[in-house]
Structures are given as C-alpha cells and as structure tokens.
Amino acid sequence: MLYRNFGKTGLKISAIGLGTWNLGNQWGAIDEETALDTVRAAFDQGVNLFDTAESYGIPCGLSEERLGKALKGIRHQVHIITKVGRWGRRSGQTVPMTTVDMVRLCVHASLYRLRTDYIDVLLCHEGKIEDPTVYLEAFEQLKQQGYIGAYGISTDQPEVLQRFNVHNTCGVVELDYSLLNRKPEKKLLPYCQEHDIAVVARGPMGKGLLTGKYSTDTIFTDAVRSEWYSTAAYREKLSRNLAKVEQLKTILAPGEDMVNTALRFVISHESQPVTIPGAKSSAQAVMNAKAGDRTLTPDERTTLIQLLKPDTALATGC
C-alpha cells in the first residue's frame, strides 16, 4: 500500500481508503457481521482511512454506528473522516445548521455513534452552501477543544471550496473524481494543489459502473442508483457512462482488472488524491486495497484518456 502526506494536516494516509456509505443498507441490505468484516478486511490490507457521514445509512447514522463497532481496538491505528449537515434530510426533518451550537450538537452525536472521542477530519456536507460562516466558526471551536483534527468540505463546486477556504483553514476537500468524471481536473484539483488542500476522491468507481459488471439491460433497484431513472437527463447520463465503460472493456477485463485501473487512475493525478471506494464484502475490500500498491505511469493514464471520448464539461471549460 502506498501512503501519502495528506495536505497540510500532518497525517499519513493510505492511497486507498474505505468508503462506508455501502455499509448502511442504502446500496442494498447488508448484515452487520458482513459490514464489520468488510472494515476489518480493509484494515488488514493496509487501509488506514475510513470515510463516513452522519446521514449514511437506513436508519440514518447506521454507517457511523457500524464503523465505530468495527474499529474497536484499532481506533488509534486509523483515521476517520465524517461529515455533518444532512441529518434527517431523507425524512424531511433536517437539523437546521443555523448556529454554532447546532453544528456542535451534530458532531457530538457523531462522536457517540463512532465510539470515539475525536474525529480526524470533519467535513461540511452541504456541497452548495452559500455562506459557510457557521460551519467555520463551529469547526474551529471544535478543533481548539480537541474534538477534531482537520476540517474541510465535500463539494464539487470550485466557488464553494473557495468560500469555505476564505481564511485558508480548509485542510481537506472531498470531491467526485473518476474516469467517468474528470471535471475536477479543470479547476478543483489545481486549486487544491495551490493551497495544499488534501484531496479525497469519492465515486472512483462511478458508483459501481467501472467494475464493468453492468450493461444497458441492468436495472438498479437500490436506494442510491434507482435515482438514475428519475429524469431524462439522469437516464441520458447513465447511457453515456455505460458507453464509456464499453470502450474501456476493449482493453480491460471486467472485474479486478478494471477495478484496479479505475482506482489507480484516480490516485495517479499529480494532486496526489487518496480515494475511498465502497465495498459490501471482505473480498471487495481486499480487491480495492490491492490497487493501492502502485500508480499508473503517464503513458498508461494517457492511453485511458485517449480511449474515452473527451469529457464535454472539461473540454468546454464548464
């Protein structure tokens, strides 16, 4: 496993982490024993970064609860990222994050569910926020009190990141980056390099599409990907992404070969991202972790980029 300096946080992080959204039943039911075994399998392969959020899981918070149980006895050997700002959104009863105390309330609840007395990295989970002042004040207070180490935001919008970094205190950004979505290469990743902000790439497998296991005949029924059929625009995007995957299949075998390549593509960017693929079994966690033993060469990256149709948003500068 490759390990990286994590921006200005002072942490040393495995290039491949584990995202735990999948462990809370939103991507299909998973029993608790399997969930805990998945976390432990990742740890045994050298993974030391585990990403979660207060809103992950059915019921809400289940992913944090399971991660806390799984890390019993090894908490001091790993690093946790969690996110606040979306509690109760699916049930229509969001916590109003309008004061420092409300942010603190949510963070202390996460600490309880995670069975820990500190969080290594805390992120704002409102990716389109206009005014992050309340979060910045609360996060700074929590940092001074020792409850959190570094803080940042999960967003795909450069202007939101810039607002959050107004005091140059943003240490980490989590963003969507993969072979199917190279938009961050235009503005977000260069900004992070310039300001020494650590990058956590979510969605490196395109929500599973880059495993190569799915086709136009697949019908996704889980709570997350079933939304792909909700609008014509989403359906068209799914069609375009599946076409890109078919192009990749001309040089890569579905399964481990494609998984390794997709993950290595992400961690090979010059901004030195780490990435957090999800997993729903020990075997998946092990396979993902193995991709962290090396990066792609420049020639390998170029071959992949040339194989796929140019990313329209990247090409137009949108």
How confident is the model over 193-204, as pLDDT tens digits?
999 999 999 999
Whether 254 contacts 213, CB under 8 Å: yes
In this structure, what token pair is assigned to residue 279?
């997993």
For residues 47 and 156, give the distance between their C-alpha atoms in angstroms, rounded to a whole number.
Answer: 25
Give the mean model confidence (pLDDT) for residues 94-108.
95
* Band of residue 100 on the pLDDT scale cut at 50, 70, 90: very high
For residues 23 and 53, give the distance between their C-alpha atoms in angstroms, rounded to a whole number.
Answer: 11
In this structure, what token pair is assigned to residue 238?
């799914």
Whether 174 contacts 136, CB under 8 Å: no
Identity of residue 152: G
Asked if pLDDT for residue 317 goes beyond 50, the answer is no
In eight-state DSSP terms, residue 4 is E
For residues 34 and 29, give the distance between their C-alpha atoms in angstroms, rounded to a whole number.
Answer: 10
In this structure, what token pair is assigned to residue 101?
């105390």
Asked if pLDDT for residue 315 goes beyond 80, the answer is no
How confident is the model over 154-187, as pLDDT tens digits?
999 999 999 999 999 999 999 999 999 999 999 9
For residues 132 and 163, give the distance between their C-alpha atoms in angstroms, rounded to a whole number.
Answer: 7
The backbone torsions φ and ψ at residue 312, rounded to the nearest 5 degrees and listed phi first, read: -60, -45
Count of CB atoms within 10 A of residue 40's CB? 15
Asked if pLDDT for residue 110 goes beyond 70, the answer is yes
For residues 196 and 252, give the distance between their C-alpha atoms in angstroms, rounded to a whole number.
Answer: 34
Calculate the alpha carbon distances from 71 to 25, 149, 278 in Å.
19, 18, 16
For residues 188 and 170, give the distance between their C-alpha atoms in angstroms, rounded to a whole number.
Answer: 13
Give the mean model confidence (pLDDT) for residues 223-233.
91
How confident is the model over 21-32, as pLDDT tens digits?
999 998 889 999
Domains of the chain in start order, with CATH, are 3-208+255-296 (3.20.20.100)
* Band of residue 38 on the pLDDT scale cut at 50, 70, 90: very high
- C-alpha 120 chain-centroid distance: 15
> For residues 39, 40, 43 and 47, what is the CA-based torsion angle, rounded to 10 degrees?
-20
In this structure, what token pair is assigned to residue 4?
């990286």
Asked if pLDDT for residue 310 goes beyond 70, the answer is no
* Band of residue 89 on the pLDDT scale cut at 50, 70, 90: confident
Short-list 274, 279, 223, 290, CA closest to 66: 279
User: Which residues in 206-243 are b (16+ Cβ under 10 Å) and which e?
Assistant: bbbbbbbebeeeeebeeeebeebeeeeeeeeebeebbe
For residues 126 and 83, give the distance between their C-alpha atoms in angstroms, rounded to a whole number.
Answer: 9
Question: In a 10 Å sphere around its CB, with 0-12 CB exposed, 13-18 middle and 19+ buried, how is residue 254 labelled?
Answer: middle
What is the CB-side half-sphere exposure of residue 143 using CA atoms within 13 A?
18
- C-alpha 137 chain-centroid distance: 24
